[in-house]
């Protein structure tokens, strides 16, 4: 006990600043509360299974996973040692479950918002950013909101957005042509994409990685009220929400009126506008934004040439919705991009009541018992590692980590290159990128349509090369949202040599 307090005191002395004095004092009080009441948590009866052990019982391994440069690779390391279903110390005596077993993941996602709820920390985070909309709601409230919104995001409704997708793509094309004149030029592609999604600049503000911010991350799942303290981390969240609200009004109400002015009785249903912005901007583009730039950056000349050949019949006009969706190579590139670059590495929830999760393959407990299901007690953290499942060699084959669009194209016999294990995944095209179950991404039709339309315009008009050829390396810039960067660049920058096609 004394060593823990001394360690805490030492870190505070090194990293404390005046703006976080109040937050730190409260953290110390809550830490003492945890040490005193920890014994009350020992009654949780989730099935004990193997998993990695954390060296620090207070921190556990959850922070290490979040800070990992490649969470999927970290999960893979553990899965190779303990199997596709394992336990993970979450800190402060809590033990979570990681579900990379396809059957277990399907059961978990099918009960998302019914049995499995977002953690209290996540709900406060979502409320701070987006308000109490569909992303925040659970159970009947979520079903009611989703039922009301679903018609606006059906395929028939999304067809009407295609002209908007093309308009945005042609604005980029026009600006690039002005820059290029008659030659080629190195263009920071990502910055141009972001010009049409200003909101994401807010997510690039540097997040404090000091002691107080890390302590907030560890303690907030137990004491969610910490997310409301005036620490730098929380002030940043409020700033992002303010930026989103302002941009939401600009996008959804271009006539200059604010959402509150248009709400019934002026009582300010601005949160509805923020949900609309989320689907129009973040859901529709963020998960694909990394893909869009990185596909262009990584696409070798043969890949670009093949896609350009497929689109060559559309010189005098753009493809219709049906034509766009029926292009096999464009679809293959889209699917492969979604597979390798999901917007979030996993789906994390908390069991709101007891459950039993079936397993596709039995496992052996530390006591030697072979089990085909795991009992999950109320309050247990459970995570489905989407990024790992999407590129698991056990499911997709030995080339799972390669960008290989041809795997999605059927040969003359009707056979494709998708692994047999992957075909057991019930998600969108055997992917969990858009999640699955009651909370699957409501904007996925918009996301796919926007990506395909934008890529079809740019690839017909420009060629793209990496500035250093095959020596160029694409890395990840880690912020609130994972973004691509060219190795050696400061921040999420992807400069490409862009040349206009004659």
Binding-site annotation: residue ranges: 441
Listed residue (281, 238, 274) closest to 258, CA to CA = 274
Q: Are 153 and 442 in contact (CB under 8 A)?
A: yes
In this structure, the strands spanning 94-99 and 474-477 are unpaired
User: How big is the CA angle at 412 (ends 407 and 418), to the nearest 5 degrees?
Assistant: 20
Q: Are 116 and 382 in contact (CB under 8 A)?
A: yes
* Residue 39 CB neighbour total at 10 angstroms: 9
Listed residue (475, 78, 466) closest to 299, CA to CA = 466
Beta strands of 232-380 (E only): which ranges? 347-351, 355-364, 370-376
User: Helix, strand, or coil here: 462?
Assistant: strand
- H/E stretch holding 476 reads strand 474-477
The radius of gyration computed from the CA coordinates of the chain, to the nearest angstrom, equals 24
Q: What are phi and psi of 124, to 5 degrees?
A: -70, -40
In sequence order, the 6+-apart residues with CB closer than 8 A to the CB of 77 are none
Question: What does each C-alpha distance from 309 to 234, 301, 330, 460 come to in angstroms?
Answer: 49, 12, 11, 9
Residue found under tokens 């997709």: 396
Residue 37 CA to residue 93 CA, distance in Å, equals 11
Write b or e for each residue in 399-423: b if 16 or more Cβ atoms lie within 10 A of its Cβ, otherwise e: ebeebbbebbeeeeeeeebbbebbe
Q: Are 484 and 294 in contact (CB under 8 A)?
A: yes
Binding region for heme: 441
Q: What are phi and psi of 80, to 5 degrees?
A: -65, -30
């Amino acid at each position: 006990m004394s060593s823990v307090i001394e360690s805490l005191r030492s870190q505070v002395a090194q990293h404390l600043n005046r703006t976080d004095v109040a937050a730190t004092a409260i953290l110390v009080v809550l830490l003492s509360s945890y040490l005193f009441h920890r014994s009350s948590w020992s009654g949780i009866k989730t099935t004990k299974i193997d998993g990695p052990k954390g060296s620090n019982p207070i921190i556990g391994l959850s922070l290490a996973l979040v800070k990992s440069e490649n969470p999927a690779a970290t999960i893979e390391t553990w899965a190779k040692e303990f199997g596709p279903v394992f336990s993970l110390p979450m800190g402060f005596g809590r033990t979570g479950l990681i579900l990379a077993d396809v059957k277990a993941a399907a059961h978990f996602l099918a009960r998302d918002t019914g049995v499995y709820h977002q953690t209290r920390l996540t709900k406060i985070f979502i409320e701070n950013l987006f308000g109490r909309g569909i992303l925040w709601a659970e159970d009947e409230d979520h079903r009611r909101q989703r039922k009301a919104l679903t018609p606006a995001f059906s395929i028939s409704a999304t067809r009407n957005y295609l002209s908007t997708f093309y308009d945005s793509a042609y604005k980029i094309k026009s600006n690039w042509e002005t820059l290029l004149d008659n030659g080629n030029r190195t263009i920071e592609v990502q910055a141009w994409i972001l010009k049409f999604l200003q909101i994401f600049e807010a997510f690039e503000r540097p997040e404090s990685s000091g002691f107080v911010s890390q302590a907030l991350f560890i303690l907030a799942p137990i004491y969610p009220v910490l997310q409301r303290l005036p620490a730098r981390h929380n002030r940043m969240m409020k700033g992002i929400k303010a930026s989103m609200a302002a941009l939401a009004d600009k996008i959804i109400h271009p006539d200059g009126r604010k959402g509150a002015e248009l709400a019934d009785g002026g009582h300010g249903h601005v949160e509805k506008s923020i949900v609309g912005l989320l689907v129009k901007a973040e859901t529709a583009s963020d998960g694909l934004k990394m893909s869009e730039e990185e596909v262009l950056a990584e696409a070798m000349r043969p890949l670009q040439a093949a896609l350009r050949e497929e689109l060559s019949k559309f010189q005098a006009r753009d493809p219709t919705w049906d034509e766009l969706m029926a292009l096999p190579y464009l679809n293959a590139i889209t699917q492969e991009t979604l597979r390798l670059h999901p917007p979030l590495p996993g789906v994390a929830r908390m069991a709101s009541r007891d459950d039993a999760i079936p397993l596709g393959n039995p496992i052996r407990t530390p006591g030697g018992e072979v089990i085909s299901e795991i009992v999950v007690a109320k309050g247990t953290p459970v995570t489905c590692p989407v990024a790992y499942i999407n590129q698991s060699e056990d499911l997709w084959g030995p080339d799972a980590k390669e960008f290989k669009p041809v795997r999605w194209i059927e040969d003359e016999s009707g056979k494709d290159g998708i692994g047999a294990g992957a075909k057991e995944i019930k998600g969108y095209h055997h992917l969990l990128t858009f999640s699955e179950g009651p909370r699957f991404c409501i904007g996925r039709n918009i996301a796919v349509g926007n990506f395909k339309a934008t890529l079809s315009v740019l690839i017909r008009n420009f060629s793209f090369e990496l500035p250093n050829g095959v020596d160029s390396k694409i890395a990840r810039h880690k912020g609130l949202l994972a973004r691509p960067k060219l190795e050696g660049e400061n921040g999420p920058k992807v400069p490409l040599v862009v040349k206009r096609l004659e």
